[in-house]
Amino acid sequence: MLKEKLEKFFKIDRRCIFLVLAVVLFAPIMKPLGLPNKTIARDTRNAYEFMDKLPAGSFVLFSLDYDPSTRPELHPQAIAMIRHAFKKNLRVGVVTFIAGSTGLIEQIFQTVPGEYNKVNGADYVIFPYMANPVAVMTQMASDLYGIYDKDQDGKDAKTLPVMQGIKNYKNMSLIICITGTAMLDYWVAYVGDKFTVPVAGGVTAISQPGYGPYLQTGQLKGLIGGMKGAAEYESLIQAPGKGTSGIDSLNLGHVLVLLLILTANIILLIIKYL
């Protein structure tokens, strides 16, 4: 009798689970829990410290390669790192190899530079979308103007004040790739290793474990993983944003998954030994 009752739990309508998850994700957005983020991951701290130690005026190249599907995790990372770069008075260059990313880049640069009185062309430059990442990365090693002769607005890139003294990777202090694709692997393999340029990254939580080998060997100077990584970086630069506010939903979502797996397996055990 009890066995039959318990078996019914496995046949529960999946829409009920969908509803519970929707409530669990939505409720903290409406009423934040405000749980403290007690730890900062070592790799996030390393990325922060590497950028923090760069002298003012250094050129940092951002490769922002994500589209709206991974926006909740990666957009806050990009915003936090760009804020940090502006705060440290670093020069910022932006490239992308994902067409869907162009609109998101534009959204970032509509608001963030204004917070630090940064001017397009003088303090930062946005290059247009390019389709063939490996070819572009290789070309930029000798002369980046061979590919990016103009910026996104059609201005001559070479004459922009922000590009003074920048010709190739030798003139860059750091490359940061924030991506939901394998683009960070390309930056490490085709640029970081070959031209000895420091590379750091930001990736989705699901792909974070795959970058362990690069972190151990120092091929990656630091790595931000998922929304938690974004929240950690935001707390390091003391500028809470979407990463911090989204962490509550993530909290409850993760705990729900664990509870469901545990419940299902406890029921299974009871059925087996009943």
Binding site for another protein (CB under 8 A): 10, 14, 17-18, 21-22, 25, 33, 35-39, 41-42, 67-72, 100, 102-103, 106-107, 110, 130-132, 135-136, 138-139, 142-143, 146-147, 205, 209-210, 212-213, 216, 226, 228, 247, 250-258, 260-261, 263-265, 268
- Strand pairing of 199-203 and 174-179? parallel
Tell the smallest beta-carbon distance from residue 269 to another protein (Å).
Answer: 9
Tell the smallest beta-carbon distance from residue 119 to another protein (Å).
Answer: 16
First to last CA, the chain: 11
CB 239 within 8 A of CB 80: yes
Q: Which of these, 139, 134, 130, lies nearest to 183 by C-alpha position?
A: 134
Tell the smallest beta-carbon distance from residue 174 to another protein (Å).
Answer: 23
Tell the smallest beta-carbon distance from residue 12 to another protein (Å).
Answer: 8
CB contact set of 217 (below 8 Å; sequence gap of 6+): none
Tell the smallest beta-carbon distance from residue 29 to another protein (Å).
Answer: 13
| Closer by beta carbon to another protein, 146 or else 161 | 146
Token look-up 């938690």 returns 228
Tell the smallest beta-carbon distance from residue 51 to another protein (Å).
Answer: 22
| Closer by beta carbon to another protein, 142 or else 164 | 142
CA separation for the pair 63, 51 (Å, rounded):
15
Neighbour-count burial of 114, counting CB atoms closer than 10 A to its CB (0-12 exposed, 13-18 middle, 19+ buried):
exposed
Half-sphere exposure of residue 189: CA atoms within 13 angstroms, side-chain side: 10
Tell the smallest beta-carbon distance from residue 215 to another protein (Å).
Answer: 8
CA separation for the pair 86, 91 (Å, rounded):
8
CA separation for the pair 38, 47 (Å, rounded):
18
Helix, strand or coil, per DSSP, at residue 205: coil
| Closer by beta carbon to another protein, 5 or else 14 | 14
Token look-up 């390393």 returns 46
CA separation for the pair 46, 51 (Å, rounded):
9
CA separation for the pair 33, 108 (Å, rounded):
27
